[in-house]
Structure 1
């Protein structure tokens, strides 16, 4: 059980660091990142990664035109 808890905490910290690096400091409802469960952090992480991917695709399309 301790191994699982450690893995969850490492994943949470990875996501929190990623979000902060991309200037996301709190959840949409105003809670601090450190207050959020892993599932909510994962959702925010996936949404941000998708947003970044869409932006990259948009830029690449503009360069191809």
Structure 2
């Protein structure tokens, strides 16, 4: 169980990445990334997801 706010945030971001389908390659440990990198990666993944969703809606 996370013992402080930083660990809680890290856990949340990792769960978000998994939820948005971020492909986790063998040997890549999200838990090893600094919080700053996790934040940026989560933003990038969510933006890509939003763009893809937007493109799919535009083609209807």
TM-score tier (shorter): 0.7 to 0.9
Unaligned runs of 5+ in 2: none
Moved beyond 6 Å, runs of 4+: none
Larger Rg: 1
Q: How many residues align?
A: 56
Unaligned runs of 5+ in 1: none
* TM-score after normalising by structure 2: 0.78
| RMSD (Å) for aligned C-alpha atoms | 1.8
Q: With a CA cutoff of 8 Å and minimum separation of 6, indicate the structure with the bigger relative contact order.
A: 2
Q: Which has the higher helix share?
A: 1
